Amino acid sequence: MTRKKDEVIVINGTIKVRIVDIKSDGVRVGIEAPKTVKVYRQELWDNIQAENIKAVEAVEEAKEQDHMEVATKVGEKIKTKVDIEEELPPEN
């Protein structure tokens, strides 16, 4: 698809991409979209996705750490059969 200056591409009937200016080093575009549609440059979108992945990994790691700490604390409080038998008074 080719477009000239001031021509428009319509996406899904709700998003318009207008060619604003054409220069040797790039093309300026204007984008009209509903407020509910977020529009990002690719490099910014890639950074957002990378940060989201890091955040999810950090949360998962924190959950794992918390589970290990809880398991350790529970393990410290649970007495084994041997522990209980050692605490019982000797049988006559």
What are 1-58's pLDDT values in tens digits? 889 999 999 999 999 999 999 999 999 999 999 999 999 999 999 999 999 998 888 8
Residue-by-residue DSSP string for 20-57: EEEETTEEEEEEE--TTS----HHHHHHHHHHHHHHHH
**Alpha-carbon gap, residue 42 to 45, rounded angstroms:** 5
Q: pTM of this prediction?
A: 0.56
Query: What DSSP character marks residue 10?
Result: E
**Alpha-carbon gap, residue 24 to 7, rounded angstroms:** 18
Q: Where are the domains of the chain?
A: 1-36, 42-87
What the block records as the tokens of 20 is 């604003």
